[in-house]
Structure 1
Amino acid sequence: MLSFLWFLIIGGIIGWVAGLILGKDIPGGVIGNIIAGIVGAWVGGTLLGEWGPKVSDFYIVPALIGALVLVFIVSLVLKAMRRAA
């Protein structure tokens, strides 16, 4: 149970940092940060492999890069949806 909480906390931090670096808001607040961090970690791990420091099942560098890509794509999609409406 404690490892699951760490998983959520680290995922949220990674998503939050990705949003700060890009200067974009992630919809959904804390839940959005957690989802962006976890999905970004999966994307980064898939594309870049497992390297760098590891914290709570997250390899930090690929997870952050994956979260950056994810936040960027989500912000582009949301911007396009706002224009279309």
Structure 2
Amino acid sequence: MGLIILLVVGGVIGWLASMVMRTDAQQGILLNIVVGIVGAILAGVVLNPLIGGGNIMSGSFNASSLLVSFLGAVVLLAIVNLFRRGSMR
């Protein structure tokens, strides 16, 4: 059950990040899930030690962990856009 919740939350976070970065037309649902989960991992490794809080990868679904995961997904999309197009958009 935890895996299903992680996939749904990762998909929503990836979709919201793609809307912010204007890459939603290029991505499908699978890529949104991947971006959300990888962004959560990135945020868990980089941002959580700096500001504290939980991580959605460990099952903590509170507001701070969701916000940090969202920021990680946005940063991930910005890095992908930087390498793909040469600009952050």
Q: Name the TM tier (shorter chain).
A: 0.7 to 0.9
**In the alignment, which residue of structure 1 is the partner of 2:75?**
69
Quick one: distance in 1 between partners of 2:38 and 2:7? Answer: 11
Q: Residue 22 of structure 1 aligns with which residue?
A: 21
The Cα shift of 1:9 comes to 0.5
Which ranges in structure 1 are unaligned for 5 or more consecutive residues? 81-85
One-letter code aligned to 2:81? S
Q: CA offsets, 1:15-44, max 9 Å, x none? A: 000011121237551110001000000111
d(CA) in 1 for partners of 2:55 and 2:42?
17
Return the TM-score normalized by structure 2. Answer: 0.73
Pair 31,41 (structure 1): closer, same or farther in 2 beyond 3 Å: same
Q: How many residues align?
A: 79
SS at match of 2:24: coil
Q: Give the Cα–Cα distance (whole angstroms) in 2 for the partners of residues 26 and 41 of structure 1.
A: 22
Q: How does 1:1-85 map to 2 (within 5 A)?
A: 2-25=1-24, 27-49=26-48, 50-51=52-53, 57=59, 58=61, 59-80=65-86
Change (3 A) 1:44 1:78: same
% same residue: 36
Contact 1:52 1:61 in 2 (8 A): no
Q: Which has the higher strand share?
A: 1
1:63: how far off?
0.4
Structure 2, unmatched stretches of 5+, are none
